[in-house]
Chain A
Amino acid sequence: MADSEKRQVSISIIGLPGSGKTTFLAALWELVGERRVTKVLTFDTIGENDHSYLRKIVGVWRKATEQARTRLTGPSAVRMNLKDAEGNVVQITMPDAPGEDFRAMWEDRELGRVLGETLADGNLLLLVNGNKVKAPAWVAERAAQRRATGREKVEALPKEWHPSHAPTQVQLVDLLQLISHAPVGTADRKIVVMISAWDKVEGEKLAPDAFLRENLPLLAQYLEAGRDGWASRVYGVSAQGGEYDGNDANAEPVEGEAPKKARKGRDADRLREVGIPANRIRLVFGEKESNDLTEPLQWLMH
């Protein structure tokens, strides 16, 4: 099929630093290339798409090693030619921008031109690391806890406010507000909120939408209130299936000391033994569980 006959769909993957965007992309690429696993969208052709970035990150994923956090360049253009059960071919563009770019939107009120162009329209997939949600916490309650447990507060000078102190949900609401208004983008779009590291938070026994209401209530209210016209779905994803080995590139070097070795992941050895690697992936929607990461993409395509 000629490129001009393909439907073009743009889905931006967004999220704060450490939210699991790259891991999600790597797992998705592994899945779409795996013919033995059933899914709603399958790989069609390589075409003219440059898959070198995807090949690199999927290699790290297959080794059950965390993705490196050091990439600070602009968005990587990720394009996949996929087809649905009826044989309709779509080219999905999913720019994978560094989380720092989204953090700059909240903290510095700046948006680079290239990322700005990708956020102008199309639907969104928002990754939120369920295990790293920074919730608001108050001095009075913390002091009462210390009194109850007999712990002393470490002496410290008061800290001035900095945008990075804001709870995760406040930062994400601001991000979505910016994306749905001029000068960045438009309202009335679809969004999938993907709670990553689901294996670490499923002990709370909550479905993903309930997890969002319980742990990020401001974001849940904002989406449900509908001022900016978001149509939303909430999923839980364990794109690794468990805890991978750390990445040496992420270990902070200390001057004068030997390079630190990355930590050993609790589940890495077990996951390397899974017969079909794509079966490491776990996706939860409501009460249902599968490994089909293309299902939320299909919802975002329409």
Chain B
Amino acid sequence: MAETEVICANRECRIAQGGRCIEGHDDLAKCPHYGKEPEELDEDQDDDGLTLVDTFDGVHLPDALPLESGRADRVLAMLPARMIGVIGVHDSGKTSVIAGLFDLFQLGPVSGASFAGSSTLHGLEIICHDARVASERDEPHSERTKRGEVRFYHIDVRRDGALQSLLIADRSGEEYEEVSDLAANATAMFELRRADVITVLVDGRRLSSPSDRADVMGAIPLIIQGMVENGAFERKPNLAIILTKDDAVQASSRKDRVEQDFRSIVDGIKDAFADHFSDFSSFVTSASPKDTNVMRGSGLAEMLGFWLKPSVEPKGLRLRYRNGRVFDGLMPAETDLG
């Protein structure tokens, strides 16, 4: 069978090299860039028409900050990869879960996985900093993720003899919250469409609070509903539901009630959204405890084990792309890549 040249207007997309659509579209007809030629760039001049002169005699090394989508896509093409979407409202412990996992690797292998490298070591160290002694803080703190483009933390691991990449998406909690206002707010969240595992965070500290618990329990299903309606989970990813800040739960006089409420949230999500996910699991974690009443990073190793668990093979992709050439009319109407 003759092959059609695969082109994409997004220069950072590597679909032509056998990668996946950078925007996460399984149905490529929905991607606004696929099948179009990239626009010409004038690389010699900057916006002012002046040539920039760099006087440094050496090599500028790649930064080690969280990756924007283009660099994340290049990582995806290098090793078998798992993309993790972490959904949580603001201050639910999203950054702490990522930082806490990296901190566990600083102490040794985690859940049978050895650290094999990372292109985001500055980024990981930055989010670890406010819980570290070097910050000179009185108690651990975690910086909120600011609004803006999604960024990815990258950790390579070797497990059961095989190397694989983990790309963990980080987006501000406020943006996820807004999906419950309007499902269309999830349209730009391509990290969810591409995710192998969706991880939903339930804030243990707020669930321990009598005034906040009802809001926590009510908000999460609506966010997932908005994403489902937007088609964010068409690939049927696995779903992990995480209770964060277990140190606060354990210190609370309401801990039995919190555990009961968490079970109720998990059961509710499973009942309502069973058709949209391949596999479910729930975990109780304490990524960055403020006290030593629970073990640092408890529950994260189990969570990582679930993140790395292979997904059910996706169904064959259907190519519906036509660029209008007569030749394409001779191609089979549907091609099964599964």
A interface residues with partner B (beta carbon < 8 Å): 105, 109-113, 115-116, 136-144, 153, 156-159, 161, 163, 165-167, 169-170, 173-174, 177-178, 183-184, 213, 217-218, 221-222, 224-228
Residues of chain B within 8 A of A111, CB atoms compared: 58-59, 61
On chain B, the number of residues with a Cβ less than 8 Å from chain A's Cβ atoms is 50
Beyond contacts A140-B292, A159-B136: 15 other A-B pairs, Cβ-Cβ < 8 A, are A109-B61, A110-B58, A110-B61, A113-B59, A138-B103, A139-B135, A139-B139, A140-B296, A142-B133, A158-B130, A158-B135, A169-B106, A173-B115, A222-B117, A226-B116
Residues of chain A within 8 A of B115, CB atoms compared: 173, 218, 221-222, 225
Q: Which of B7-66 contact A (CB under 8 A)?
A: 56-64
Does A113 lie within 8 Å of B58, measured CB to CB?
yes
Residues of chain A within 8 A of B59, CB atoms compared: 110-111, 113, 116, 183-184
Bound complex: CA of A226 vs CA of B79, how far in Å? 13
Bound complex: CA of A112 vs CA of B56, how far in Å? 8
Would you call B107 an interface residue if the criterion is a C-beta within 8 Å of the partner chain's C-beta atoms? yes
Residues of chain A within 8 A of B114, CB atoms compared: 221, 224-225
Question: Which residue on B lies nearest to A119, using beta carbons?
Answer: B59
A159 CB contact (under 8 Å) in B107, B134, B291: B134
Residues A174 and B116 in contact in the complex (CB < 8 Å), given A140-B131, A159-B136: no
Bound complex: CA of A153 vs CA of B139, how far in Å? 11
Question: Which residue on A lies nearest to B157, using beta carbons?
Answer: A225
Residues of chain B within 8 A of A224, CB atoms compared: 114, 158
Does A165 lie within 8 Å of B129, measured CB to CB?
yes
Does B116 lie within 8 Å of A225, measured CB to CB?
yes
Does A174 lie within 8 Å of B291, measured CB to CB?
no
Residues of chain A within 8 A of B106, CB atoms compared: 136, 167, 169-170, 217-218
Would you call B105 an interface residue if the criterion is a C-beta within 8 Å of the partner chain's C-beta atoms? yes
For the complex of A and B, list the 5 residue pairs with the smallest distance between their C-beta atoms, beginning with the closest: A225-B116, A225-B158, A161-B129, A227-B116, A165-B134
Residues A222 and B135 in contact in the complex (CB < 8 Å), given A116-B59, A183-B59: no
With both chains docked as a complex, state the minimum distance between the C-beta of A119 and any C-beta of chain B, in angstroms: 10
Question: Which residue on A lies nearest to B110, using beta carbons?
Answer: A221
Residues A140 and B140 in contact in the complex (CB < 8 Å), given A110-B59, A158-B135, A174-B64: yes
Residues of chain B within 8 A of A177, CB atoms compared: 117-119
Does B64 lie within 8 Å of A136, measured CB to CB?
no
Sample (19) of A-B pairs whose CB atoms are under 8 Å apart? A110-B61, A116-B58, A136-B103, A137-B133, A138-B131, A138-B133, A138-B140, A139-B135, A140-B139, A153-B138, A158-B136, A183-B59, A184-B59, A218-B106, A218-B115, A221-B108, A222-B115, A222-B117, A225-B115
Bound complex: CA of A110 vs CA of B59, how far in Å? 6
Against A, the Cβ 8 Å flags (1 = close, 0 = not) of B255-299 are 000000000000000000000000000000000111110001000
